[in-house]
Chains A and B, each alone.
Chain A
Amino acid sequence: MPSATSLAPPSAPADPPRRRRREPSAAFHAYAYRVGAAALRPPWSAAEVVRHAYVVGYRCLLPVLVSMVPFGMVIGVQGMKILDLFGAHRLLSGLMALLVIRELAPVLTSVLVAAQAGSAFAAELGAMRLKEELDATAVMAVDPVSWHVVPRVLGMALVTPALTVLAAVGGIAGGWVVAVYGRGLPHGEFAAHTVALIGTWDLWASAVKGLVYGVTIGLVSTWRGFHSSGGAEGVGRAVNDTVVICVVSILVLNYLLSTLMFTGAGAAG
């Protein structure tokens, strides 16, 4: 009996802080910390990770290729025209591979992943928030972050580097079509110089960029969706915020990562 009465009073004042702890992650850093902690404490479903990775890859592959190939073709058109001035056609494939692998493939891929999969994540979680499905998950003693958020973030982190690599291949293929079939650059000259300026380091850098942007998109989109409010408009606003925040943070991160990777004393370039 005395033990029960001594337990009862602390529970009453402890109630308000616990209620405040219900929405502890409205700020991005707190949310990212919460997701990271949930990801490190592993009751999350690996099958869900694979499922989300599959959906992201399946949905994004076509948009990524369909926009990266024309971009490679643009580089082919402009590059041939400009290098004509110097009589240095053979530099085209090398410079193009360098730009596509280091810069364009990671940025364009992640912008499209943000537009396609990121906005879908925000809309899904926003609708789940609106229909109180997230609260229902929590009531069933399942942490909504470990069940709904962590698999999405990890799935996106898995797939974005792979999409980046495929986008780079698509971009170089687009340039190859224009240069070889459109402008009559000899095929051997194009092929021989493609790998002239890039090293293994550039491929790693490209994949690392894809990984960083994938994690960013996963965190931002689920953050906006998880904390959306205010009916159907709220879902629309979550999607809008997701795309804008993702694109701007990708460009900012890209500047920082490029500075770190390609201008430092240890840069291989």
Chain B
Amino acid sequence: MTAAAGIPARFLATVGGYAGFTWDCAAATLRHGLRTDATLREAYVIGVRSLPVLVTMAVFVGTNLSIQGHAAFRTLGAHSLVGMFVALAGVREVCPLLAGTMVAAKTGTEICAQLAVMRTKEQIDALEVMAVNPYAELIAPRLLGIVLVMPALTVLTLAAAIASATAVAVWQLDVNPGEFRDYVFDNIRLADVGIAVLKGVLFGAVIATVSGFFGLTSERGPEGVGRATNRAIVAICVVCVMLNYLVTAVAYR
């Protein structure tokens, strides 16, 4: 009874805490100034560390798109539309979303675990004692670092997915390469890539702030670290999927 009644209350408390957290972050960054060197370092670390996993993932997303598009359109006798399917489904929806999920899995859990470990070891209290604002010092560089690299990561994901989709379509499924290329590039507009990049940036901002929030508010001890990371990744996934729907509903009305 109390547990069931507690769930909405706890949910609202978490949402309110998150809102307060982002506000504190913005205010602290404005007041204390931005650590440019730390931001660039985070951007480099995040971009370089996520890239191999991201490209691996993108390659297999592309192959799956090709196979499913081919299987779906074969029943209608329109194999060649697989290029259109790859271009539309991949560029508009699947690639940005999975790039966000992958960066959340790799970088988001890392940020959350780092901050939760710092909380456990009382390093964050130590920062506050030294009059260093933990938001300006720890969160803002990570947030801006992710936002800086997400456009590049999204575009590379799109490129890798389309390349692997082409490879599978041409070599495994015997689609005419010229036809496939025409269908792909006729159906990608610059605006689609722009919206994909916008989605990537939004997901990046969600990843940094949500994992920062759960990391800084974690309970102490190893269980606390594990639980904070778990909550962060689930919250990020769910928020990203919903955000994806909102952006799509507005952009492709």
Q: What is the 8 Å Cβ interface bit string for chain A, positions 220-234, against chain B (1 contact, 0 not)? A: 000000000001111
Is A99 touching B72 in the complex (CB atoms < 8 A)? Answer: yes
Is B230 touching A123 in the complex (CB atoms < 8 A)? Answer: yes
Residues of A within 8 A of B233 (CB): 115-116, 119, 243
Decide if B15 is an interface residue (CB 8 Å cutoff): no
Is B68 touching A236 in the complex (CB atoms < 8 A)? Answer: no
Residues of A within 8 A of B121 (CB): 232
- Cross-chain contact of B226 among A102, A239, A262 (Cβ < 8 A): A239
Tell me the dominant secondary structure on chain B's binding face. helix
**Cα distance A82–B87 in the bound complex, in angstroms:** 12
Decide if B244 is an interface residue (CB 8 Å cutoff): yes
**B104 → chain A, closest Cβ, in Å?**
8
Q: Which of the segments A17-25, A134-142, A251-259 contacts the partner chain?
A: A251-259
Decide if B120 is an interface residue (CB 8 Å cutoff): yes
**Cα distance A243–B64 in the bound complex, in angstroms:** 20
Q: What is the 8 Å Cβ interface bit string for chain A, positions 91-126, against chain B (1 contact, 0 not)? A: 100010011001100010001100110011011101
**Cα distance A107–B102 in the bound complex, in angstroms:** 13
**A98 → chain B, closest Cβ, in Å?**
5
**Cα distance A262–B82 in the bound complex, in angstroms:** 15
**Cα distance A24–B248 in the bound complex, in angstroms:** 50
Q: Which of the segments A5-13, A28-36, A72-80 contacts the partner chain?
A: A72-80
Interface size on A, residues (CB 8 A): 57
Decide if B245 is an interface residue (CB 8 Å cutoff): yes
Is A236 touching B234 in the complex (CB atoms < 8 A)? Answer: no
Is A248 touching B229 in the complex (CB atoms < 8 A)? Answer: no
Residues of A within 8 A of B227 (CB): 120, 123
Is A70 touching B242 in the complex (CB atoms < 8 A)? Answer: yes
Closest A-B pairs by Cβ, 5 of them: A123-B226, A236-B113, A67-B241, A70-B245, A251-B60
**A residues apposed to B, CB below 8 Å:** 63, 66-67, 70-71, 73-75, 77-78, 81-82, 91, 95, 98-99, 102-103, 107, 111-112, 115-116, 119-120, 122-124, 126-127, 130-131, 197, 231-240, 243-244, 247-248, 251-252, 254-255, 258-259, 262-263, 267, 269
